[in-house]
């Protein structure tokens, strides 16, 4: 990573990712594993070993992908398989992923740029260094949260601010902080409480003037139902969390039916995962797909960004990524 990345869970300067490539370079997949998710790596490898010994041919239609992958094993492992299979099908049909899935054409939309927890001065300096970027996501969930936010707002009075506590507050802390933090003109507050505390997040939403956006709490379709019933206004959908494209499509559809607002997100991923998710921008109100800008050794090229952090989709079929060394 370009800089140490500190969240409420802890700090890291590297992240492990796994890439899958189908035979003949016909499809690329990725699994990204944040250290705080506790994903069992041998369990992920077991999913891929089972897939490698699957005697059934690769599916040729998107409707057959989920059955081929199956529902067992960690979500990132299933996600990597799905990405590779969907990429293969779209490449073979000569269309970009969004067309294969009959999605709206991707928007030209600006992503937020994430500033991890640091001293207020360092965070303000980073905010000033991206003066042309219109949206900043501020990581909180430690002491002096208000001082950090105040420093960034002072440095960038023009910018849209989103804050993300990564489940780092108690309900009492969140109730105390919401009124004070919202004075800095926020767009949303993301995952203020531990992921299991869905009803508490709904109670917080009733007192919060901006959307409470669930992230870690969104892993299954049942989670989406519970969040909507609790009164939470928005969700952050990530392919790695939910297990790939097929479950994400079900979640997008149900969120629309329930009136939930949607943000596209990602883990710390390379251009494979980020570009795959960018095909869904026509379904979302907000986008947080800045990971390729945070990674120092991305071996792939996919989405690019203009000077204002607006996502530029690649003019290639499939997911749209290419290996910088192999191509």
190 is in an annotated binding site: yes
179 is in an annotated binding site: no
Q: What is the C-alpha to C-alpha distance for residues 131 and 7, in angstroms, rounded to an integer?
A: 23
- The residue among 104, 57, 28 whose CA lies nearest residue 318 is 28
Q: Are strands 212-214 and 186-190 parallel, antiparallel or unpaired?
A: parallel
Element (H or E) spanning 38, and its range?
A: none
306 is in an annotated binding site: no
Q: Residue 21: helix, strand or coil by DSSP?
A: strand
What residues are annotated to the active site? 139, 238
What is the DSSP code string of 120-186?
HHHHHHHHHHTTT--EEEEE--STTHHHHHHHHHHH-TTSEEEEE-TT---HHHHHHHHHHHGGG-E
Alpha-carbon torsion, ordered 73, 59, 83, 301, to 10 deg: 150
Element (H or E) spanning 47, and its range?
A: helix 41-52
Beta strands in the chain (DSSP E): 5-7, 10-12, 16-21, 28-33, 113-115, 135-139, 160-164, 186-190, 212-214, 234-237, 261-264, 286-287, 300-301, 304-305, 311-312, 322-323
Which residues are annotated as part of the binding site? Answer: 164, 190, 215
Which residues are annotated as part of the binding site for Mg(2+)? Answer: 164, 190, 215
């Amino acid at each position: 990573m370009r800089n140490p990345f500190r969240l409420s869970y802890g700090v890291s300067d590297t992240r492990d990712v796994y890439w899958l490539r189908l035979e003949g370079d016909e499809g690329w997949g990725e699994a990204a594993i944040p250290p705080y998710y506790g994903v069992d790596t041998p369990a992920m490898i077991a999913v891929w070993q089972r897939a490698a010994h699957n005697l059934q041919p690769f599916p040729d239609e998107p409707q057959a992908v989920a059955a081929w992958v199956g529902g067992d094993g960690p979500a990132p492992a299933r996600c990597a398989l799905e990405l590779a299979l969907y990429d293969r099908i779209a490449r073979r049909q000569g269309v970009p992923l969004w067309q294969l899935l009959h999605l709206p054409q991707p928007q030209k939309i600006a992503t937020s740029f994430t500033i991890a927890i640091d001293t207020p001065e360092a965070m303000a300096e980073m905010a000033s260094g991206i003066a042309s970027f219109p949206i900043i996501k501020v990581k909180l969930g430690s002491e002096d949260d208000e001082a950090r936010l105040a420093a960034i707002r002072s440095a960038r009075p023009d910018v849209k601010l989103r804050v993300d506590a990564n489940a780092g507050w108690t309900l009492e802390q969140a109730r105390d902080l919401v009124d004070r933090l919202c004075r800095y003109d926020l767009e949303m507050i993301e995952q203020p409480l531990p992921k299991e505390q869905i009803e508490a997040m709904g109670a917080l939403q009733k007192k919060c003037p901006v959307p409470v956006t669930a992230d870690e709490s969104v892993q299954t379709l049942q989670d989406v139902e519970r969040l909507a019933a609790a009164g939470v206004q928005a969700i952050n959908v990530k392919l790695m969390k939910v297990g790939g494209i097929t479950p994400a499509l079900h979640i997008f559809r149900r969120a629309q039916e329930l009136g939930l607002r949607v943000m596209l997100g990602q883990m710390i991923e390379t251009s494979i995962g980020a570009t795959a998710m960018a095909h869904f921008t026509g379904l979302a109100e907000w986008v947080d797909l800045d990971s390729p800008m945070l990674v120092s050794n991305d071996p792939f090229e996919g989405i690019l960004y203009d000077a204002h952090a607006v996502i530029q989709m690649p003019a290639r079929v499939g997911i749209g990524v290419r290996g910088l060394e192999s191509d």
